[in-house]
Amino acid sequence: MDLEHAEKVLSMQDTDEAEPAKVGEVIEVVTSAKLMTEVVTTAATTITAAQMPKDSAPRRRRGVIIQDPKETAIASVIMHS
């Protein structure tokens, strides 16, 4: 941001001595707008760079069968999720 440039441009224009507050307000608004644009542009770039890649395929899981030697007729299946 070049504040001196904005002041030079406004000082080259004909202004009344009764309106110096308006000229200062215009400079402040222009400066604030430039700063907001710069901050938004920087934030958008940062957010875009922070994206994470997706997994190509889901992980597969297997079931585990537990058998008690005393109870051979009953089998339990435990599924991990």
pLDDT tens for 48-74 read 555 566 666 666 667 766 766 666 655
Query: What local confidence, expressed as pLDDT, does residue 36 receive?
Result: 81
- For residue 40, is pLDDT > 70? yes
- Residue identified by tokens 């000082």 is 11
Q: Alpha-carbon dihedral of residues 8, 12, 17, 23, nearest 10 degrees?
A: -50
Rounded to the nearest integer, the mean pLDDT of the chain is 67
Q: At what angle do helices 3-12 and 20-49 cross, to 10 degrees?
A: 150
Could you state, in order of their start, the residue ranges of all structural domains in the chain?
1-81
Quote helix, strand, coil % in the chain, to nearest 5: 50, 15, 35
Question: Looking only at Cα atoms, what is the longest distance across the chain?
Answer: 103
Name the more confident of 26 and 7: 26
